[in-house]
Structure 1
Amino acid sequence: MRSLVVLPDDRPCAPCAPTLPPARPKGYCRPLPPARKRPKSVLWRRVRQTVAVLLVATLTGGGAYVWLRTDLPAQVRLAAQDMIGDAGATVDMRLGEVNVQGRVHAPLEALADAVGVERGDPILSLDLDGIRHRVESIGWVKQATIWRQLPDTLHIEIVEREAFARWQIGGRVYLIDAEGKVLEEGDRADFHNLFLLVGEGASDKAHDLLDMLQTEPVLASRVVNAIRVRNRRWDVEFDNGIVARLPEEGAAAAWHRLIELERSYGLLRRDIKVVDLRLDDRLIVQLNPDAEPPPPTTNTPRKAGKRT
């Protein structure tokens, strides 16, 4: 086998010679490549997310329970009011004016007692929720909104209930709304146009009675009184003094029956006193005792005619 002989002229020059790594010292150990991170499993990620959600829900629910079931909100509010009130007194922001809007029928004396503030009180220490609750306890007031206008004004805006009827019980007369809420005591002259409910339980059933009467608005406008008999049924009195007695059950059907009788025969224009509709199969009418008796009928003899 022939050996390869490299002549001096055939050796590569220094720039063309390949670069070799430096010689390694004895005991040298080649370092291992960095370990690749193993990807986290989907199950472990879901477990961590579930634990985080449960932790947040527990903290939120516990905080809500403490806030709603304990007196902590009241304590925080009172502490804040004391601190704000002290600050208001320090900077000398005191009540100088109370502005009331929306009042028509609510008594001014009752409203002033419910507000319960005086000129010169620290305006930031006023209990607005307490003022609102006291104002809404007045019969006429349906809703109240209270707010401050710094530096010295307190605003009170109220929405009043509407008077629906007068209610007489125990010898006293009250104004009530459609839900039976008592607005005030007394028979005021400016509300005499409202019809009168009489008897125990009449105020609670006033709204149902109105719904029934309004099925015939023309006839309903003639109703002046409605008497609750033994808290079971109604006697309805019209503007000409006629009383319609309605049954305990089926009052709406009896009212429609009266409407048809009025349309067909003008029953309520007759000289009668009472129309009793408590029985389904008959109608009982009581005549007015002051009515004039009908003229007597004379039996004239019939002339004999010619026979044909």
Structure 2
Amino acid sequence: MRSLVVLPEDRPCAPCAPSLPPQRPKGYCRPLPPARKRPPSVLWRRFRIGMALAGMAGLAGAGAYAWFRTDLPAQVSLLTQNLLGEAGAEVDLKVNDVNLTGRVNTPLKALVSAVGVERGDPILSLDLDAVRRRVEAIGWVKQATVWRQLPDTLHIEIVERQPFARWQIDGRIYLIDQEGRVLEEDDRPEFAHLLLLVGAGASDRAHDLMAMLQTDPVLARRVVNAVRVRGRRWDIQFDNGVVARLPEENPEQAWARLIALEQKEGLLRRDIQLVDLRLEDRLIVRLNPEAEPPTPVAAPAKKPSGKRT
């Protein structure tokens, strides 16, 4: 058998020779791959989520307690207003004009006192909600809207209550609306045509009384005043001085009865002083003391029968 002989020119050159990995030193150990972390159990994850939620709830509760049980909101509001006021003063944002709309009967002096704003006050530091509450505390004002218009104008718009009747108690006369709310303590001449209610509790029942009277507008216009007797019933006085006493229960029925008597018999046009309607089965009428007694009518003479005895 012929032996294989490799000549030098048949040996691969260094660039063409295959690269072999470097020999490892003795005692070398291949490192193990990093150990994979074991995922947390479902119970542990729920426990951590519960603890986080409990912590958030505790913080929210502590914040709510501090907010509602202490004066923290007022302090924050005051601090904010002071900061805004200082900032507005530095840039010269001050009140120069107050625009008021909706006023008809509300006294201007009362409005100026309630607003409490003077020209030159920092406009950004104004507590608009406090201004609104003070304006709505005036009897005439039903609703108020307050807003600022930078750089220097404060707007106030009010909705007034409507005068409904006059209420006399303890020698004083008050103007009230249909809900019985006192508008002012005064007896202005322009409201002299309104119905005068007298007595304790009369203002609270004003709306019900007016609804009853308006069932006959013609007769209602003749009513001058209504007296609340012991807080239970009404005495109605008409323009000719006649007083109608209504019962405590079912006054509407008695008023309808009076309307029928006036339309059929002209009862209130007679020379009487009082009509008592408190009893359902009878009518009591009191004449004026100065009224002349009715002229007696003579009975007609009987004709002779013509028979002779």
| TM-score between the two structures when normalised by the length of structure 2 | 0.77
Alignment CA distance shift 1:264-1:47 (3 Å): farther
Q: What is the CA–CA distance in structure 1 between the aligned matches of 2:91 and 2:71, rounded to whole Å?
A: 30
* Further displaced range: 251-260 or 44-53: 44-53
State the 1:51 CA deviation. 7.7
Superposed displacement of residue 187, structure 1: 1.5
Cα distance in 1 for residues equivalent to 2:215 and 2:55: 60
The correspondence of residues 236-275 of structure 1 with structure 2, limited to 5 A, is 236-275=236-275
Equivalence map 1:2-151=2 (5 Å): 63-151=63-151
C-alpha distance in structure 2 between counterparts of 1:49 and 1:267, whole Å: 87
Cα deviation code 1:6-37 (max 9, x no counterpart): xxxxxxxxxxxxxxxxxxxxxxxxx99x99x9
Q: Out of 54-63 and 245-254, give the one that drifted further.
A: 54-63
Alignment-derived partner of residue 12 in structure 2: none
| Structure 2 CA distance for aligned equivalents of residues 91 and 44 of structure 1 | 58
2:115 is matched by which residue type in structure 1?
A: V
In the alignment, the residues of structure 2 paired with residue 245 and residue 224 of structure 1 have an alpha-carbon distance, to the nearest angstrom, of 14
1:210 corresponds in structure 2 to 210
Q: CA deviation at 1:225?
A: 0.3
Secondary structure of the residue aligned to 1:298 is: coil
Stretches of structure 1 that go unaligned for 5 or more consecutive residues are 1-30
CA drift of 1:285 comes to 0.8
Q: Secondary structure at the match of 2:124?
A: helix
Structure-2 residue corresponding to 1:281: 281
In the TM superposition, what are the counterparts of 1:131-210 in structure 2 within 5 Å?
131-210=131-210
* Residues in 1 aligned to 2:78 and 2:216: alpha-carbon distance in whole angstroms: 55
Report Cα offsets for 1:197-230 as digits up to 9, x if no partner: 1122222222232233334444333322001223
Match of 1:228 in 2: 228
User: How far 1:75 sits from its partner (Å)?
Assistant: 1.4
How far apart are residue 305 of structure 1 and its match? 5.0
Q: CA 1:222–1:64 in 2, change beyond 3 Å: closer, same or farther?
A: farther
Amino acid at match of 1:288: N
Q: Where does residue 296 of structure 1 map in the other structure?
A: 296
Cα distance in 2 for residues equivalent to 1:259 and 1:45? 84
Give the partner amino acid of 1:96: N
Report the counterpart of residue 10 of structure 1 in structure 2: none
For residue 124 of structure 1, give the secondary structure of its aligned residue in structure 2: coil
CA displacement at 1:181 relative to structure 2: 1.6
Which secondary structure state, in structure 1, belongs to the residue aligned with residue 274 of structure 2? strand
Structure 1 residues 122, 59: CA separation in 2 closer, same or farther (over 3 Å shift)? same
Letter in 2 for 1:273: Q
State the one-letter code of the partner of 1:118.
Answer: E
What is the aligned partner in structure 2 of residue 8 from structure 1? none
Aligned-pair CA distance for 1:264: 4.1
Q: 1:249 to 1:305 in 2, by over 3 A?
A: same
Q: TM-score, normalised by structure 1?
A: 0.77
Which stretch shows the higher mean deviation, 215-224 or 119-128?
215-224
2:203 is matched by which residue type in structure 1?
Answer: S
Residue identity matched to 2:293: P
